[in-house]
Amino acid sequence: MPPRSDSAQRGPHPALKGLVESYTGTSLTGCTPGIHLGTPSLTLPLIMSLRDHPVVQLQSRTGADRVAYQGLVAGLQLAPVLIDHASSAMTLTVELTPRGLTELFGARPSDWFGVSVHAADALGRSVEELRQRVEFLDGWPARFAAVDAYLLALRRDRRSAPTLADRAWRTIRATGGGLTVEQLAGQLGTSRRTLQSCLVSQLGVGPKALSRVARFGRARELVHARLQHRAPEPTLAAIAARVGYADEAHLIRDWRLFTGCTPIRWRDVDAFAFSD
């Protein structure tokens, strides 16, 4: 039987704008087991595993230090996360913004920089109750609606004005990491030193690294589309120029840092990224 994939994605309820980027539901069956690369992004994923398919994270490709999660939340990352992918998997992922993590759950993103934690331990028992409720609903629209309702109820309890870190994150996302640190600080009406200190304190990472992640994210989309269709274009040099790298070599440098491989080898190393 050939592999089967059922996936869906949509944005959150309008009242959650700025707190949640998207919901993604994925169901895979009949796949060849292997390792999936969770690559760095600007969001913090809350991942709920469904139908007895836990998310298994590895510390290395040797399979040492395996940790299984029914639900996990990951902080901002500057290195790939290795996921031991079974032949079948079913997950619902909520992509939280840093402000969303704080306003909805009262948590500080910097506390989880570079790590993954059990969602129930980090965010409260209600997250596990949500996972169990969502697990037995039929269809992604119903599951997404249940997550909307849960998060909207949380938001009624916590509302806050955007901080400097929130505004910096939003600007980096909007510009795709295209501003220098000096330009970003100037646009936000602060100094480079204050911006650096604020972001490291609240998010765990400075503006330069966040901008690199933003550029990588844009490049990742373009490289994925090229490899998915096995097309020769656009070239890596063209992609590098389009998203703001100085040249192809700088793109490949960041790609190795964030994935552990080159762009062209990505499909060979992580077939699950191309399972749709």
The bridge status of strand 116-118 relative to strand 71-74 is antiparallel
pTM given for the model: 0.91
Q: Are residues 12 and 147 in the same domain?
A: yes
Q: Are residues 8 and 132 in the same domain?
A: yes
Last residue of a domain, one of 91, 124, 155: 155
Q: Are residues 149 and 169 in the same domain?
A: no
Instruction: Say which CATH number the domain at 228 has.
Output: 1.10.10.60
Q: Are residues 168 and 147 in the same domain?
A: no
Q: Are residues 57 and 32 in the same domain?
A: yes
Domains of the chain: total: 2
The radius of gyration of the chain's CA atoms, rounded to the nearest angstrom, is 19
**In sequence order, which residues have a C-beta less than 8 Å from that of residue 93 and are 6 or more positions away?**
23, 24, 25, 26, 45, 46, 47, 48
Q: Are residues 17 and 148 in the same domain?
A: yes
Q: Are residues 46 and 168 in the same domain?
A: no
The bridge status of strand 20-29 relative to strand 89-96 is antiparallel
Q: Are residues 138 and 180 in the same domain?
A: no
Structural domain range at position 180 = 163-276
Burial per residue of 145-177, b for 16 or more beta-carbon CB atoms within 10 angstroms, e otherwise:
bebbebbeebbeeeeeeeebbbbbbbbbbebbb
Q: Are residues 134 and 58 in the same domain?
A: yes
> What's the pLDDT score for residue 179?
96
Last residue of a domain, one of 155, 185, 207: 155
Question: Residue 84's closest CA among 44, 54, 120, 48?
Answer: 54
> What's the pLDDT score for residue 141?
97
Q: Are residues 137 and 243 in the same domain?
A: no
Last residue of a domain, one of 109, 125, 155: 155
Q: Are residues 214 and 140 in the same domain?
A: no
Tens place of pLDDT per residue across the chain (276 aa): 456 778 899 999 999 999 999 999 988 887 777 788 889 999 999 999 998 778 888 866 555 678 889 999 999 999 998 888 776 788 999 999 999 999 999 999 999 999 999 999 999 999 999 999 998 899 999 999 999 999 999 987 667 788 999 999 999 999 999 999 999 999 999 999 999 999 999 999 999 999 999 999 999 999 999 988 888 889 999 999 999 999 999 999 999 999 999 998 888 888 777 766
Written as one string, the DSSP assignment of the chain is: ---EEEEEEE---GGGTTTEEEEEEEEEESPPPEEEEE---SSEEEEEE-SS--EEEESSTT--S-EEESEEEE---SSPEEEEE-S-EEEEEEEE-HHHHHHHH---GGGGTT-EEEHHHHH-HHHHHHHHHHHTSSSHHHHHHHHHHHHHHHHTT------HHHHHHHHHHHHTT-S-HHHHHHHHTS-HHHHHHHHHHHHSS-HHHHHHHHHHHHHHHHHHHHHHTT---S-HHHHHHHHT-SSHHHHHHHHHHHHSS-TTTHHHH-GGGG--
Q: Are residues 64 and 14 in the same domain?
A: yes
